[in-house]
Structure formats: structure tokens, C-alpha cells
Amino acid sequence: MFWDEKMETLRGKDLEALQLKRLKWTLAQAMKVPFYRGLFREAGIRPADVKAVDDVEKLPFTRKKDLREGYPFGFLAVPRQKVVRIHTTSGTTGKPTVVGYTKRDLAHWADLIARNLTMVGLREGDVFQNAVNYGLFTGGLGFHYGGELMGLTVIPAGTGNTKRQIEMINDFGVDAIHCTPSYAMHIAEVAEEIGATMPTLTTGLFGAEPWSESMRTELERKLDLSAFDSYGLSEMYGPGVAFECPEKDGLHIWHDCYLVEIIDPETGETLGAGERGEMVITPLVKEAMPLVRYRTGDMTMLREDGCACGRGQKISRILGRADDMLVIRGINVFPSQIEHVLLGLPEVGDHFMVYVDRVNYLDELTIEVEMKRETFSGELSDLARIQKRVTAALRDVLGIRTAVKLVEPGLLPRFEGKAKRVVDRRGGLF
């Protein structure tokens, strides 16, 4: 089932013609922003030089830093009075980024979310619990209006009060839930504690943080549902940029609305399909805040194979953010790789913390892992054996030695929003 079959399956010359037309419109829109007029002048390029979709490679990048410097309304291409909604990014470092939406932007956004919800098998009348933060975070209102547009019964549950969330799932006969994967795991844990099952729940949409295939296996087993990966970022409206179809083998990125490139994050050079790098997106329909070659910081690759579902371009699941990537003794490590290893080991639980220290000028990686209740005997010989196994499995995948500390079940922090599992204690002195 498709929400917009024509657009979702568009390909070849038709797709290229539409992309080019929209790219030109986007560049004209961008030229209304003083930042872009300056950037293009500096780069010695004019929008008229773009004559084919591939010419996008000639254009300069936009960075997160540029958006911050434009705070609050420096990137608007329409009068502020035409902006009907504002969201901001979480702003973990420095000023947040402001994202403005016109009425047309909101309509496009809801439409993309409706495509995703339809693609995973939801139908008009299904009950949808939206268990993410409402407010400035885009995940709440984004899914909310997309769900209403396609005729779902939307419950704006927000986060927190997990027992109440479980109660609502059962009282309202919820078919699908949207939340972060770490919160889904927490719901599963609380349900297990109170002995609740959620028989109506068949579909889980999980996003806002990278998560692994082993995490999918765990979530599907514990919650007895089908789990789909959702990708988006506030700068591109929010969620709804790319989403898994029932094949669960890569995410369809909506090719009529987002032009995607993969680059080497160090050199900025464009990479081919199958090569891992940083994703750069030029949105093609954004009116209030057009962006040109925006560096997302997210590491992934383009897939060249087609998809059994008939839709177009796919990217691989996000491995992590270029700036979440830890460089440990010269080796690149992503927290998602650690998660993948740990979830594959039956003796340890779903919770872990990563600490990075510098000891005698050397990077040291310490990983605290919770044991599972079933395997936590407290016997020292058992602990030593499990610790050895975890250390070896991590070394195999990461290619570096780590210090593994096993901790009692329930000891590590739980996260309702985005998980913050990495603590880098190295400081910036060296």
C-alpha cells in the first residue's frame, strides 16, 4: 500500500526532471537569504550554473555552525509573519538551531509522515500512541499531524509515566507506538516487572537515535511487535526524511523532497554507492528555510540495489553521527557498534555506559554493562568468564581493547528521551 504511489515509485528521467525543477526552485528560494547570497558569491557560483541534478556537487556546503550563527531568524527565506510554526533543535552545545515552517511546509511534512505510516502497514482507523516529547522537539507534532492526516486515531501520550503508557496501550487497543528505541526498551522492562502484556500492539516506530539490528531483535521479541527504523532531523522538518519499508533492509529516503549525497567527512569529496560517509542533504521543497547541501553529520551509505516494495532510493541504517564517533587510539568507534555487540550476548542486559579517559596520554575505553537478572549469580568465577567473553566480543568488532565492568541489573541510568550513553572525560587540552 502506498500513500502517494506516483511520487514514491517515480524513477529515471521523470524523477530527475522533477528533482532538477525543485532544486532550481530551492536555489531561487535560498538566494532570498543573505547568508546564501554571500556564500555563493564567495564560491564564485550562480544558481544559473546548475543545469543538471549532478551539478549540486559544485555548490558549497551549509554547516550546523552556520545555522547557529544565523540564530534566530537569519535563515528565513520568507517574512517572519509567514512562518506559522517554530521548532528548535535540542542545542546540546551552544545556541539551538531555529527551524521555521510555512503552511506549505507543514503540509509537505505531514504528507511525508503519512507516507511512512502507510508504508509500514498502518491503515485509517488504527490506534497510534505517540510516546515522544511534544513541544519544541519535532518528533511529537511531526508524527501527530502526519498520523491525523492519514486517519489514524492519535494519542498524544508524550513521554514518562511508563505504567500509564502501558495501561493506555491496553485500554485504547493501541496498534502502533512511536518512541525512541531506548524508551521502548524501558517500556518492555516495566511491562515485564508488572507482568503486563500488550496484545494489540503490532507495530513499533523507533527513531531519534541510532539503534542496531540486535536492538531490533530484542525489541521485537520483548514487545512482540514489528520494529521499524525512522530517520529525520529538525533541519529537514523533523522525522519523516527516511523510513524502513516492510523489507527492513535500508531506509527509503524520499527522493522527490530530499536530494542526498554521501561525502568523505574529512575531504568533502563525493562518494559512490556502497561507500560509507557523511550524508549531505539538499531539501527540495522547503519554503521557509531552504538549505543547500546541508551536512547532517550522520554516517551512512547509499544503497544501489532496488527494493522489493517498488519504492526508490535507499540509505543504510545510520551508524552514528560523525561527531558521536569516538576516535580511540586512532580507531573510529561508534556507540551503535558497542550496542550491537552487547545485545548479541545473552549474558548481559540492554543497558550500558561508555566512558572515555586519557591515561598517560593514551585513550582508554571503559564500558559498564548491566548483567541480566537470569544470569546474575554473583559467583566470581561466572563474572570473570562473562567479562572475558564480553571483552573478546568487543575487541573482535571494534578492533581495540576495552575495559569491561559488569554491574548489577538495574544500576545504570534509564533514558526516556535520547539516550546519553557516552561520557568523554578526555577534555580538550591535548
Applying CB under 5 A, the span of 41-49, 208-216, 300-308, 397-405 interacting with Zn ion comes to 300-308
Nearer to Zn ion, 244 or 347 (CB): 244
Nearer to Zn ion, 57 or 249 (CB): 249
Nearest-approach distance from CB 309 to Zn ion, in angstroms: 3
Nearest-approach distance from CB 339 to Zn ion, in angstroms: 25
Ranges of beta strands (E only) in 212-347 are 226-233, 238-244, 251-253, 258-263, 277-283, 294-300, 302-303, 314-315, 320-321, 326-328, 331-333
- Tell me which residues in 301-330 interact with Zn ion (CB under 5 A): 307, 309, 311
Rg (CA), the chain: 22
Nearest-approach distance from CB 251 to Zn ion, in angstroms: 9
Nearer to Zn ion, 260 or 342 (CB): 260
Bridge partners, residue 253, by sequence: 242
Nearest-approach distance from CB 303 to Zn ion, in angstroms: 10
Nearer to Zn ion, 242 or 279 (CB): 242
Nearest-approach distance from CB 5 to Zn ion, in angstroms: 13
Site for Zn ion (CB under 5 A): how many residues? 5
- Tell me which residues in 146-205 interact with Zn ion (CB under 5 A): none
Nearer to Zn ion, 279 or 315 (CB): 315
Specify the residue for cell string 523532497. 257
Q: Quickly list H helices, 199-351.
A: 213-223, 335-343
d(CA 405, CA 414): 18
Cα–Cα nearest to 228, from 113, 73, 384, 323: 113
At 371, phi and psi to the nearest 5?
Answer: -75, 165
Q: Quickly list H helices, 314-379.
A: 335-343
Nearer to Zn ion, 247 or 424 (CB): 247
* 377 to 396: interface string for Zn ion, x by CB under 5 A: --------------------
Nearest-approach distance from CB 331 to Zn ion, in angstroms: 34
Cα–Cα nearest to 338, from 321, 357, 353: 353
Contacts of 314 (CB under 8 A, 6+ apart): 249, 250, 251, 252, 253, 302, 303, 305, 307
Nearer to Zn ion, 165 or 313 (CB): 313
- Tell me which residues in 226-265 interact with Zn ion (CB under 5 A): 245, 247
- H-helix or E-strand spanning residue 183: helix 181-194
Q: Which amino acid, one-letter code, is at 8?
A: E
Nearest-approach distance from CB 78 to Zn ion, in angstroms: 34
Specify the residue for cell string 491503515. 123
Nearest-approach distance from CB 116 to Zn ion, in angstroms: 12
Q: Quickly list H helices, 299-358.
A: 335-343
Nearer to Zn ion, 178 or 311 (CB): 311
- What are the residues binding Zn ion (CB under 5 A)? 245, 247, 307, 309, 311
